[in-house]
């Protein structure tokens, strides 16, 4: 890939660098594992150049897209970048005064990625990077292995970019998400195994077939998209970094890259972020990272997931060690929630803030509640909880709720129902 000056983005990415041994590779290399020690690869930047290019004055004039902070994102080819994600990113940051009152948090904010474009989850951020990288490499097909939302994001962003998508789901897939992928034109394959087994098989398939996988072979680029949650949130708070982030973790990309993004905002002089703590939310039925943090141990024990929070059902989290480092170095913590607590938290968020989230978001709200009750979040602290996905895709997964009661279309009968609601609460609406 040789680019003329007008074909280059403003990206200040320089090299791939190993998370573990620090070995460096050229950015155009297509390996995704360190050739030395086999660990994952990160992306490094020329931060001095980025500081000069990212002066706040210039930022104000830029579009509110995923590419707003393009200096700190890894795509060099402007033609690839222009074809992906121009309407993604910049989700609302909402002051959750009503939910905050329930939790005893006066300054609770929600970073609402349940409204992310195009596919209603935080995965639109990471998959935007993967698809742009694919186009940069000249690829015409993309695969992914998905707990749910990677699939819908790949199907949607690949369709818009004119790329063929193959989505591999584990056997316990959520029907709404798999159907959405089909409707978006992707090939959907259900594998007879859980996510961790599917992930291993897809890795072998990617190597054997040469097809790029968004969250396997394109992973170093994919992961960078999650940093935009940190950039946007701090900008939306007026270049003030919150006291706390509470975030769900599955593989650990979101939380580890928000940590990286916060560090970068400090490096390029846009905000002071060192005091921000990161707290992790996981389901009790799949909480290998949270368990390790709470036990103050070092090694992450893989778990076999048993939870209705399918988006978070990764028992062997690839970025787990990075998450533990992010949490410990920032003085954060973790909390887990049972499935009933997750569904109660979904209902509480809905009834207080009018936001319908999926179980991953319920896990985050339930964890925020526990961390507040334990005094790990102070009543006046600025707390940002990341609502990472939309509940419309997962309504089929909710515990059985009865159908609304059917009554005659007559004002008199309807009036009796209203009296009943007022006296007995909303439960009366269900038969």
Ligand X SMILES: *Cc1c(COP(=O)(O)O)cnc(C)c1O
Enumerate binding residues for ligand X (CB under 6 A): 121-123, 148-149, 248-254, 311-312, 358, 360, 388-389
Pairing between β-strand 41-45 and β-strand 107-112 as defined by DSSP bridges: unpaired
Closer to ligand X by Cβ: residue 89 or 252: 252
8 A C-beta contact, residue 357 and residue 390 = yes
Q: How far apart are CA 63 and CA 44, in angstroms?
A: 24
Closer to ligand X by Cβ: residue 132 or 229: 229
Give the residue nearest to ligand X (CB): 389
Q: Nearest CA to 226 among 313, 361, 130?
A: 130
At its nearest, how many Å lie between ligand X and the CB of residue 318? Answer: 8
Who contacts 397 (Cβ-Cβ below 8 Å, separation ≥6)? 174, 308, 310, 359
Q: Nearest CA to 300 among 313, 311, 316, 285?
A: 316
At its nearest, how many Å lie between ligand X and the CB of residue 223? Answer: 8
Q: 193-196 long-range contacts, Cβ below 8 Å, gap at least 24?
A: 194/170, 194/304, 194/305, 194/313, 194/315, 195/145, 195/147, 195/170, 195/305, 195/313, 195/314, 195/315, 196/302, 196/314, 196/315, 196/316
Closer to ligand X by Cβ: residue 76 or 322: 322
Closer to ligand X by Cβ: residue 135 or 313: 313
At its nearest, how many Å lie between ligand X and the CB of residue 388? Answer: 3
Side-chain half-sphere CA neighbours of 98 within 13 A: 8
At its nearest, how many Å lie between ligand X and the CB of residue 338? Answer: 18
Residue 45 exposed, middle or buried by CB count within 10 Å (0-12, 13-18, 19+): buried
At its nearest, how many Å lie between ligand X and the CB of residue 253? Answer: 3
Closer to ligand X by Cβ: residue 78 or 315: 315
At its nearest, how many Å lie between ligand X and the CB of residue 60? Answer: 30
Closer to ligand X by Cβ: residue 154 or 270: 154
């Amino acid at each position: 890939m040789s680019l003329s000056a007008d074909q280059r983005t403003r990206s200040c990415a320089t090299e791939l660098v190993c998370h573990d041994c620090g070995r460096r590779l050229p950015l155009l290399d297509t390996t995704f594992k360190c050739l030395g020690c086999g660990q994952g690869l990160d992306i490094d930047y020329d931060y001095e150049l980025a500081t000069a290019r990212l002066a706040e004055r210039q930022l104000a004039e830029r579009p509110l897209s995923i590419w707003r902070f393009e200096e700190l994102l890894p795509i060099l080819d402007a033609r690839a970048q222009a074809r992906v994600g121009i309407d993604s990113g910049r989700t609302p940051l909402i002051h959750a005064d009503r939910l905050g009152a329930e939790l005893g948090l006066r300054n609770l904010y929600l970073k609402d990625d349940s409204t992310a474009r195009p596919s209603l989850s935080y995965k639109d951020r990471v998959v935007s990077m993967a698809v742009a990288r694919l186009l940069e490499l000249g690829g015409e097909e993309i695969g992914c292995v998905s707990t749910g939302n990677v699939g819908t994001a790949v199907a949607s962003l690949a369709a818009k970019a004119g790329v063929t998508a193959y989505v591999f789901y584990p056997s316990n897939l959520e029907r709404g998400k798999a159907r959405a992928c089909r409707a978006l034109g992707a090939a959907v394959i259900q594998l007879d195994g859980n996510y961790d087994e599917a992930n291993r098989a897809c890795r072998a398939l990617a190597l054997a077939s040469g097809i790029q996988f968004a969250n396997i072979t394109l992973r170093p680029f994919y992961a960078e998209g999650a940093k935009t949650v940190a950039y946007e949130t701090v900008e939306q708070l007026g270049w003030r970094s919150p006291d706390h982030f509470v975030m769900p973790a599955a593989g650990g990309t979101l939380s580890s890259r928000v940590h990286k993004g916060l560090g970068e905002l400090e490096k390029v002089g846009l905000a002071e972020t060192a005091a921000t703590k990161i707290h992790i939310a996981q389901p009790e039925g799949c909480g290998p990272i949270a368990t390790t943090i709470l036990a103050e141990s070092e090694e992450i024990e893989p778990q076999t997931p048993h939870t209705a929070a399918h988006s978070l059902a990764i028992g062997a989290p690839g970025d787990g060690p990075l998450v533990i480092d992010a949490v410990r170095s920032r003085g954060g913590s973790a909390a887990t929630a049972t499935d009933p607590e997750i569904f109660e938290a979904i209902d509480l968020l809905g009834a207080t803030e009018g936001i319908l989230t999926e179980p991953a978001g319920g896990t985050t709200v339930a964890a925020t509640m526990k961390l507040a009750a334990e005094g790990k979040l102070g009543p006046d602290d600025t707390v940002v909880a990341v609502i990472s996905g939309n509940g419309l895709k997962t309504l089929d997964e909710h515990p059985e709720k009865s159908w609304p009661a059917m009554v005659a279309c007559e004002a008199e009968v309807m009036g009796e129902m209203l009296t009943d609601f007022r006296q007995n609460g909303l439960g009366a609406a269900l038969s």
